[in-house]
Amino acid sequence: AADVRDDLSEVLYTSDQIAERIAEVAAQIDEDYAGREVLLVGVLNGAVMVVADLQRAMKNHVQMDWMAVSSYGSGTQSSGVVRILKDLSSDLDGRHVIVVEDIIDTGLTLSYLMSNLASRNPASLEIMTMFRKPEASRMEVDVKYVGYDIPNKFVVGFGLDYDGRYRNLRDLAILSPHVYS
């Protein structure tokens, strides 16, 4: 039977390294938000694993909600125009919100989301991403919590997909070129 792992060329971060870093970030969030309850806003689908693991590594009370967005435009290039496919169930007014992503690549998804969410009057609004690619540094919005900065390679696993697959890998790995070329 086909094994998902046969399609990988290199593991960049193991599940243990990911868990270790999430524990550090969770402890930092617990400290930064002591006495203030956080609402984690996960961006579907990629952020599912991060949101699940991050909140279980936290000791403070925490809540979660979800958004689904889609970038207009064809091919692999994001146009920067983002459409909301599923909106939050929660009201953000007066809440301490942390938007959670699996990865920031160009930063276009988050640039749009942050201005949209900021207009809903949260008490505070920050970003946590598990991985960040180099181009994201050109982004105008501040990212408060970063798991790991990674090279500009085609990576999958821990929520990141290629054509909807590979999200279930526990490691972050480089996809072997034979899969997409």
Contacts with ligand PRP by CB under 6 A lie at 43, 45-46, 71, 78, 101-109, 161
Smallest gap from Cβ 131 to Mg ion, in A, equals 12
Which amino acid would we find at residue 96? Answer: H
Cβ(136)–Cβ(148) below 8 Å: no
| Residue 33 vs 109, nearer CB to ligand PRP | 109
- Among the residue ranges 64-72, 75-83, 154-162, 169-177, the one whose residues contact Mg ion (CB under 5 A): 154-162
Q: Within 13 Å and on the Cβ side, how many CA atoms surround 169?
A: 25
Q: Among residues 161, 170, 176, 179, which is the contact residue for Mg ion, using CB under 5 A?
A: 161
CA distances 155 to 7, 92, 132, Å, are 11, 32, 11
- Please classify residue 164 by burial: count the beta carbons closer than 10 Å to its beta carbon, then call 0-12 exposed, 13-18 middle and 19+ buried: exposed
Token pair, residue 99, equals 């938007």
Binding mask 110-149 for Mg ion (x = CB under 5 A): ----------------------------------------
- Please classify residue 162 by burial: count the beta carbons closer than 10 Å to its beta carbon, then call 0-12 exposed, 13-18 middle and 19+ buried: middle
Residue 53 falls in the annotated catalytic set:
no
Residue 116 near which of Mn ion, ligand PRP, Mg ion, none (CB within 5-8 Å, type-dependent): none
Does residue number 46 form part of the binding site for Mn ion (CB under 5 A)?
yes
Instruction: Compute the distance between CA of residue 108 and CA of residue 96 in angstroms, rounded to an integer.
Output: 23
Residue 108 near which of Mn ion, Mg ion, ligand PRP, none (CB within 5-8 Å, type-dependent): ligand PRP
Does residue number 154 form part of the binding site for Mg ion (CB under 5 A)?
no
Does residue number 71 form part of the binding site for Mg ion (CB under 5 A)?
no
Catalytic hit among 7, 53, 102, 105: 105
Smallest gap from Cβ 167 to Mg ion, in A, equals 8
Q: Within 13 Å and on the Cβ side, how many CA atoms surround 21?
A: 18
DSSP per-residue letters across 76-107: TS--S-EEEEE--SS--TT-EEEEEEEEESSS
Residues that bind Mg ion (CB under 5 A): 161
Chain residues that interact with Mn ion, rule: CB under 5 A: 43, 46
Q: Active-site residue numbers?
A: 105
